[in-house]
Amino acid sequence: MPEKKSRFRLLLTVNILLIVAAIYISLTNGVFDMSVMDVVRTLLRIEPSADHDLVIFDFRLPRIVIAALVGFGLGIAGAVIQGITRNGLADPGILGINAGAGAAIVAFMFFFQGKFTEASWFSIMAMPLFGLTGGLLAAALIYMFAWRKGTLDPQRLILVGIAIGSGLGAVSLYLSLKMNPNDFEMATVWLTGSIWNANWTHITGMLPWLILLSPVLLRKAHVLDLMQLSEESVKSLGVSVEKERNRLLLSSIGIVSACVSVSGSIGFVGLMAPHIAKRLTGIAHRHVLPLSGMIGMLMVVAADFIAKTVFTPVELPVGIVISIIGVPYFFYLLSRARR
């Protein structure tokens, strides 16, 4: 046990150092390169420059913070969903929860187009609520069709999730095609998973969701460990399986919806981060959950830097960059599952 704790602390420390390195590279590099001292002087308000203030506080720093929060949220939610379903291929994107939240938010954009600015407080606060509604609807449909003989069938879960995700993705596309040209462009970029328009208002809109719901998931790590046993065994230990499962699922959907509301649908983070965490630290969820969040944070911050610099002056959505890595990894996991 002490060895596992020491290993977990070491992994967490290494991951934090890598995140700091990624943030440093993202802050100092880009179309407008800056030195470390430029960044330090700007942050500490020592001889501040208007140009440096604009680049750091209006463009780079909000984007990095959003990427870190979204990566953490998707990583921890993915680990919980895999634990609930006892399926290593489960993921908010693959199960259609991202698509449900995305469809609801696109519907919000469609019905209120032209009546609010993208950075207004009304839209920033309302979009996560719409996303939560859409995510819950997708989860309810998945449960309804994947439930078989009183239990949740893991294989049907994946198939149903893919089908529902595809259907809701089509709804999002249809609604976006009905928008005016400006809103259509915004919705299309957003749907591919992009944080290019990140600002501090977006951060204040999603941060309360993470602050409220992440501790709920972390406190239930022991319940997730028990859920890896058969349902009868868990009930015999005095755990209310359905109540705990619904609480965990609802909290996960809330986090995913908050993430989708500011970044669009970024897939595969919730699939890859938990798998990497389990390979590094074992299957105990008290270690897997925080490490999954930190690995997800590193993935999205690094992917966002690649997205905005590799093809300069053209910028790729961060969701595409992660998908380039995620699709081969998904096939790798599928091949392992068949053995």
The structure's pTM equals: 0.89
Percent of the chain with pLDDT over 70: 93
* 66 compared with 159, residue with greater pLDDT: 66
Give pLDDT, residue 116: 47
- Catalogue the long-range contacts made by 212-216 (C-beta closer than 8 Å, 24 or more residues apart): 213/251, 213/254, 213/255, 214/72, 214/73, 214/76, 214/255, 214/293, 216/247, 216/251
The Cα–Cα gap between 189 and 254 comes to 23
Q: Is the peptide bond before 313 cis (omega within 30 degrees of 0)?
A: yes
Residue 114 has pLDDT above 60, yes or no: no
- The domain limits of the chain are 2-337
The Cα–Cα gap between 114 and 186 comes to 12
Q: What is the pLDDT of residues 227-267, one digit of tens each?
A: 887 777 777 777 787 788 888 988 998 898 888 888 888 88
152, β-bridge pairs: 147
Percent of the chain with pLDDT over 90: 23
The Cα–Cα gap between 199 and 124 comes to 11
> At which residue do the structure tokens 């069709």 appear?
145
When pLDDT is averaged across residues 10-25 and rounded to a whole number, the result is 94
Tell me the CATH architecture of domain 2-337: Orthogonal Bundle (1.10)
298 token code pair = 């590193």
Give pLDDT, residue 1: 64
